Structure 1
Amino acid sequence: MISVYAGTWWLDEDGIYSVASGYKWFRGMLPAMSWHSWIWNSVNLPKHCFIGWLIMRKRLLTKDRLCRLVGSTEDGCDLCGTDKETHDHIFFHCPYSRRCIQLLSDWCMTQLPTSNFEDWWSRQAFQSQAEGDAIAAILVAALYNVWWVRNQCRVNSLIFRPEYVARTVPGSSLISLGASIGQPDLALPVHYILLYRLLAGIIN
């Protein structure tokens, strides 16, 4: 804990103390996370943001973490049964989640990431902020739904086909995007494409 004040570190640019500047001084310098802009996005549903944040921080209670925390001996992936359940496996390597991502990539006509989300996002050049928001909403919703299916499989012994997840994600994403549809300044083609493909039942 920082207990000694030195210099003017807790003053803002104008040399005036504020609670915010004092907190920043007390907290110290923290690295900026490149994924914050698409996880904590205003168009994402709050529950999607929270699970997405836990995923990026690798704080979900996956079986490998449970083995370390409580000594559990069961560590197999419930979705595919081919490997140990870790964050990297569930969202990057599991055949189930990779199939979900591929179906959604075909649906939104954009190749979504199947390996490193941070590197993929930093390389994207979207035509507009609204298009980036729409893709972010789909990607974060996909992560949330993969984790939801995993929990259904573990707790209720239910498994849903990847096609079900691919149909569910666009609907939940459009809930958060719906406020912008119809507004002249945000009524960009990506919104209409997403809405049309959902209503037309492109995903069988």
Structure 2
Amino acid sequence: MANKIAANIQHRKLLALDRLQKRGIVQSNICFICGITPETHEHLFIFCEYSRRCMELMQQKLHIRFSAAYMVTWFSKNRTKSRLQRVVSGACFVGLISGIWHVRNCARLSHQVTAPMVLVNQVWKETKERLIHKNRKDA
């Protein structure tokens, strides 16, 4: 599920509010999470203060540092990290992006936003469990 959401983001297929407004489906395109800025793909996943905080917290857990906008290039071209480090980092950030989309949808429906630390810890735990399970299957 997370990989599908990440692919849809990459190809700009998720219906962020800016696209829904252009289609006449919604009147307001203000981000459900921050309530300040119009919701676009760039805002929701890179520039929204919530997403930025989630990215910072995940970077701290992974002991890496880079801007969110640089993320895609980092995973594809950074050869100073081991393959395992790239796989773990990639899985964490795909999970985080999926989690941000989920938080956005929950905010739209219930007007509640999960704290960034709670989301990051949840993604961290789920990613470790998935990678351990995958490693056991491959062994």
TM-score normalised by L of structure 2:
0.89
Superposed CA RMSD in Å reads 2.1
Which residue number in structure 1 is paired with residue 83 of structure 2? 129
User: Is the Cα–Cα contact under 8 Å of residues 34 and 50 in structure 2 kept in the other structure?
Assistant: yes
Equivalent position amino acid for 1:154 in 2: R
Q: Distance in 1 between matches of 2:130 and 2:31?
A: 31
Identity %: 25
Distance 1:129 1:74, change over 3 A: same
Number of equivalences: 139
The partner residue of 1:84 within 21, 38, 41 is 38
* More helix, by proportion: 2
Distance 1:180 1:60, change over 3 A: closer
Which residue number in structure 2 is paired with residue 66 of structure 1? 20
What 5-or-longer segments of structure 1 have no aligned partner? 1-46, 187-204
Equivalent position amino acid for 2:20 in 1: L
Which residue number in structure 1 is paired with residue 114 of structure 2? 160
Could you report, residue by residue, the CA deviation over 1:121-173 in whole angstroms, capped at 9, with x for unpaired residues? 34412443222111110010010001100000001221111111111111111
Could you report, residue by residue, the CA deviation over 1:38-63 in whole angstroms, capped at 9, with x for unpaired residues? xxxxxxxxx11000001101111110
What 5-or-longer segments of structure 2 have no aligned partner? none
Q: Distance in 2 between matches of 1:121 and 1:128?
A: 11
The partner residue of 1:118 within 67, 72, 75 is 72
Q: Distance in 2 between matches of 1:180 and 1:126?
A: 24
User: Is the Cα–Cα contact under 8 Å of residues 75 and 86 in structure 2 kept in the other structure?
Assistant: no
Equivalent position amino acid for 1:157 in 2: H
Q: List aligned pairs for 1:25-44, cutoff 5 A.
A: none
Could you list the structure 1 runs, at least 4 aligned residues long, displaced by more than 4 angstroms after superposition.
180-183
User: Is the Cα–Cα contact under 8 Å of residues 66 and 72 in structure 1 kept in the other structure?
Assistant: yes
Larger Rg: 1
SS of the aligned residue for 1:72 comes to: coil
Bigger RCO (CA 8 Å, 6+ sep):
2
Distance 1:116 1:58, change over 3 A: farther
Could you report, residue by residue, the CA deviation over 1:92-144 in whole angstroms, capped at 9, with x for unpaired residues? 10000000000011111012541143333344124432221111100100100
Could you report, residue by residue, the CA deviation over 1:70-94 in whole angstroms, capped at 9, with x for unpaired residues? 3421100111122100000001100
Which residue number in structure 2 is paired with residue 93 of structure 1? 47
SS of the aligned residue for 1:74 comes to: coil
